[in-house]
Amino acid sequence: MNEAERADLLLQIYYYMRLTRAMEDRTRTLFLQGRIVGGVYTAQGHEATTVGAAMTLRDGDCIVPQHRDLGMHLVRGVSPRAVMCQWLARGNAPTLGRDGQLHIGDMHHGVVPMISMLGESLPVACGVALVMKMRRRSTVVLASCGDGATSTGAFHEALNFAAVQRLPVVFLIENNGYAYSTPNAKQFAIEQLAQRAGAYGMPGESVDGNDVLAVMEAVGRAVAHARGGRGPTLVECRTFRVRGHSEADKADYVPPALREEWLARDPIKRFEDYLTAQGLLSAERRREIEARVRAVVDDAVAFAEASPPPDPATVADYVFAPDGPIAIVGEPGAADPRYVNALDTRTGRPFCTMSQVEEAVTQL
């Protein structure tokens, strides 16, 4: 990578961090205005972790994100319009209004839909990685969870199975200090969650999750390890949830001084300072990026607001998938519409999770 390419890359990272923050700020506003009916979970302070980790991936790789991983989604090409349609429960959202939040996915673009039972996505990540291994691919799976989910049985079963099978998975723990109101000290009795890696026979690393370049380096090492067929790695990113569990949670159980301490380490501010010091982010450049971010968010909100609600008559539809051939995702020709998993057979149109197929969203 030459210097100009590196500068572009760093600014791209900055853009995604800003876009993630701006999307969530707007989501919060919509919630406070009563325009989002359900729970809203945001991740201020996680941007270095989610964006940095996802920046290490390539085409064909897969993310298995959780509820605070908007940054990961956006880097991998998930459409901001689709995200806003999810929040606003629109009929053309990726889940057709059947589910909310970031519970979205598109296997052809390597995004596995999550469920609210945190930790349960990790065994699913193993299955995706198992297929990559069977098909002799050099692709990898990036699967995340929070500190809370490390206490689940699913976490243990997944890490153990991945290690035994030497699966190409990077397990990313976003340790943000609290599982809802429960602090780390009541969640586990070890110093760093990365220590758990040793128990599974895989490498483990704990990294400053508010330093985007440090995250990219650590996750990048783990990705290279997995790509090389050497199996899984556990990477703990130490960050902090500076807001509540959900936007309905004031989080008054968090000592104010602790929150202040982490707010001072804001990952976006830190990266901005770095870019400025490197001479890569002029005031003008910054204004450009801010304008671009604002335009994307405005467009996403406007699109979602103009989108229709789901048709109540469809309430009992789509419980079962239709018959027909199914393609193995990632194989040549897998997008051929004769395959039941090539299109969204509920609508007969392309899946509308990714930006590339936004026109599909518009048409509905």
Partner 1 sequence: MTAVTYLEAISQAIREEMRRDESVFLLGEDVATYGGAFKVSAGFLEEFGPERVIDTPMSETAIIGSAVGAALMGMRPIAEMQYIDFITCGFDQIVNMACKMYWRSGIPLPLVIRGPAGGGTHGGPFHSASPEAWFFHTPGIKVVMPATTYDAKGLLKAAIRDNNPVLYLEHKLLYRLPELREELPSEDYIVPLGKAIIRRHGRHMTMLTYGAMVHQCLKAAEQLASEDGLAVEVVDLRSLTPLDRQTIKESVMRTNKVLIVHEDTLTGGVGAELAALLAEELFDYLDGPIMRVAAPDAPYPYAPPLEMAYLPGVERIVAVARQLAAY
CA dihedral 316, 319, 324, 330 (to 10 degrees): 130
- Of 71, 69, 78, the C-alpha closest to 55 is 71
The rounded distance, in Å, linking the Cα atoms of 170 and 81 is 28
CA dihedral 335, 61, 156, 195 (to 10 degrees): -170
Coil vs helix vs strand at 275: helix
Binder to partner 1 among 61, 69, 99, 208 (CB under 8 A)? 99
Binding mask 157-196 for partner 1 (x = CB under 8 A): xx-xx--xx-------------------------------
Dihedral sign for Cα atoms in the order 287, 28, 356, 52: positive
- Residues within window 302-321 making contact with partner 1, judged by CB under 8 A: 318-321
Binder to partner 1 among 28, 39, 77, 133 (CB under 8 A)? 133
Beta carbons within 10 angstroms of residue 261's beta carbon: 11
**Per CB under 8 A, which region of 187-195, 281-289, 299-307, 339-347 contacts partner 1?**
339-347
**Per CB under 8 A, which region of 21-29, 170-178, 220-228, 325-333 contacts partner 1?**
325-333
| Residue 170, CA atoms < 13 Å, CB-side half-sphere | 31
Any contact of residue 358 with partner 1 (CB under 8 A)? no
The amino acid at 103: H
- Residues within window 273-292 making contact with partner 1, judged by CB under 8 A: none
Any contact of residue 351 with partner 1 (CB under 8 A)? yes
Binder to partner 1 among 28, 60, 77, 131 (CB under 8 A)? 131
DSSP state letter for 310: P
Any contact of residue 324 with partner 1 (CB under 8 A)? yes
Any contact of residue 347 with partner 1 (CB under 8 A)? yes
Q: Name the site residues for partner 1 (rule: CB under 8 A).
A: 94-96, 98-99, 103-107, 112-113, 115-117, 120, 122-131, 133-134, 153-154, 157-158, 160-161, 164-165, 318-324, 326-331, 334, 339-341, 344-347, 351
